[in-house]
Amino acid sequence: MASRTLLSVLLFALFVSAAAQNATDPPVSAEDEDWGWCVTTEGDNPTCQSLITILADLDPEATHKYSCIVGDGAEDCMKKINNGDAKFGVFDGGNIRKASNTYNLKPIRIEITGTSTDRYFSVGVVKKDNCPRNINDLKGKRTCHSGYGRAAGWTIPITYLVDSKIIPVVTSGPAQNDIESVKAFFSKTCAASNDQTKAVCSACKTTTGCTQEDIYYDYEGAFRGVVEDSCDIAFTKHSIPIDYASNGQYAQTGWTGLGPASDYALLCPTPLNGAFCTDVANYADCNFGNAPPHTIFVASDWPAVEVQEFQAVLDAANNDPAFNALLFQGKNTAGSIFVSDATKTLAYSGTVDALVAPIEKAATSLEAINAAKPPTGAAAGLLPSLLGVVAAATSGLVLAAAL
């Protein structure tokens, strides 16, 4: 009798647990098992096709339907995930806040790079024999950026230069203030984008209508612009000049004029050992700030059981020779889907705020720059000061949050 009573209690407990699970998690539908990867450019599609073939072989769940969806840039992929037309997207640190706030996506996985960190530094790369005298000597130079709105290539360095009163804010013109300010300060710029209202193309290979297909787009593309003398300085990721130089692990034989890493230098925001330019290996002490990792996002209402199954597949992929050969062992030199020096991905269960903390000051400053109105009368002289106050206040808030 006692054993029957105990069995009844156990069955009831299991029933209650299952009911609670069902009440908490949305049911899994056939659409939830359509595992579509959204890539931001057609150039990433071949890599994606190879990627999903490998993942499908690793996946024990036969019900998952893998596919690749080509979006028109990062924001279009966010829209597709939000609308249910795709399930996953990998976004740069400069797009993390937008993915969360505008499109209600959640981060579930981050990439780790060759430096065994989930952060990377924003640096300015120049040819060693063409180093500016100091950071204030950039007026009229030609610049290449990893892309418009990218963390290391645009948001961090441009807001630093504006907040430091090196680049004056321009509040008139057809484009956003940050774009007009850059165009007025530098002689030529390449900051490609699939959104043509934000693309700056004068230093790109395609000088009109430059997109993410331009050869000077992305981290390595910006550096290539310096190598091939389309730009005087490249704002990019710290590992690029070391990895892509002629003696680097990802050396590109098709780049005209590529030299060893010793031919290039970093331009420091403040002097390092009395000099504004230093060896490319000194990025930890010569940079404009650090950026969050590239992050895999999904819709916030995607069932938890599907997230868990996805994490299991990606965990298995970290140890799969074919997956590593495709993306993490030096063959992904174009930085397709994941960055070129990524070594693995890890599950992420933290908050968006924690992810974007390193870039929050720069992102807030960029918003202030683009929200600034054309000054009139006596207010004309106040704009730089007001932006300085915003930057200082934001810095204080970020520091307080960190403490």
Work out the angle at residue 178's Cα, subtended by the Cα atoms of residues 172 and 183, and round it to the nearest 5 degrees. Answer: 75
Query: Higher confidence at residue 99 or residue 331?
Result: 99
- In the chain, the amino acid numbered 220 is E
Q: Which of 342, 341, 350, 348 is nearest to 311 (CA)?
A: 348
Query: Higher confidence at residue 5 or residue 231?
Result: 231
Structure tokens at 151: 């963390």
Burial class (CB in 10 A: 0-12, 13-18, 19+), 327: buried
pLDDT band for 27, please (50, 70, 90 cuts).
low
CA dihedral 162, 168, 171, 174 (to 10 degrees): -90
The answer to whether 88 and 81 have CB atoms below 8 angstroms apart is yes
The answer to whether 364 and 357 have CB atoms below 8 angstroms apart is no
Read out DSSP for 52-109? HHHHHHH-S-TT-EEEEEE-SSHHHHHHHHHHTS-SEEEE-GGGHHHHHHTT-EEEEE
CATH 3.40.190.10 range(s) for the chain read 29-115+293-356, 120-291
Q: Given a cut of 80, is residue 41 above it in pLDDT?
A: yes
Right CATH for 29-115+293-356 from 3.40.190.10, 3.30.1300.10, 1.10.3720.10, 3.90.1170.40: 3.40.190.10
pLDDT band for 28, please (50, 70, 90 cuts).
low
Whole-number pLDDT of residue 17:
45
Q: What is the pLDDT of residues 202-245, one digit of tens each?
A: 999 999 999 999 999 999 999 999 999 999 999 999 999 999 99
Q: What percent of the chain has pLDDT over 70?
A: 83
Whole-number pLDDT of residue 395:
46
In the predicted model, what is the mean pLDDT of residues 56-71?
Answer: 94
Q: Given a cut of 50, is residue 399 above it in pLDDT?
A: no
Cα gap 218→121, rounded to integer Å? 15
What superfamily would CATH give domain 120-291? Periplasmic binding protein-like II (3.40.190.10)
Q: Which of 179, 222, 157 is nearest to 362 (CA)?
A: 157
Q: Given a cut of 50, is residue 266 above it in pLDDT?
A: yes
Q: 378-386 long-range contacts, Cβ below 8 Å, gap at least 24? A: 383/169, 383/171, 384/165, 384/168, 384/169
In the predicted model, what is the mean pLDDT of residues 95-114?
Answer: 92
End-to-end CA distance of the chain: 60
pTM of the model: 0.78
pLDDT band for 31, please (50, 70, 90 cuts).
confident
Q: Given a cut of 90, is residue 391 above it in pLDDT?
A: no
Strands 188-190 and 142-145: parallel
Cα gap 226→61, rounded to integer Å? 47
Structure tokens at 355: 């992810």
Other Cβ atoms less than 10 A from the Cβ of 373: the count is 10
Q: What percent of the chain has pLDDT over 90?
A: 71
Q: What is the pLDDT of residues 271-291, one digit of tens each?
A: 999 999 999 999 999 999 998
Other Cβ atoms less than 10 A from the Cβ of 169: the count is 20
Phi, psi of 76 (to 5 degrees): -65, -35
Average pLDDT, the chain: 87
Whole-number pLDDT of residue 75:
94
Cα gap 195→282, rounded to integer Å? 34
Q: Given a cut of 90, is residue 21 above it in pLDDT?
A: no
In the predicted model, what is the mean pLDDT of residues 99-110?
Answer: 96
pLDDT band for 7, please (50, 70, 90 cuts).
very low
Query: Higher confidence at residue 396 or residue 173?
Result: 173
Burial class (CB in 10 A: 0-12, 13-18, 19+), 265: buried
pLDDT band for 151, please (50, 70, 90 cuts).
very high
Highest mean pLDDT (candidates 77-86, 90-99, 388-397): 77-86
10 HSE (CA, 13 A, CB side): 6
Whole-number pLDDT of residue 305:
94
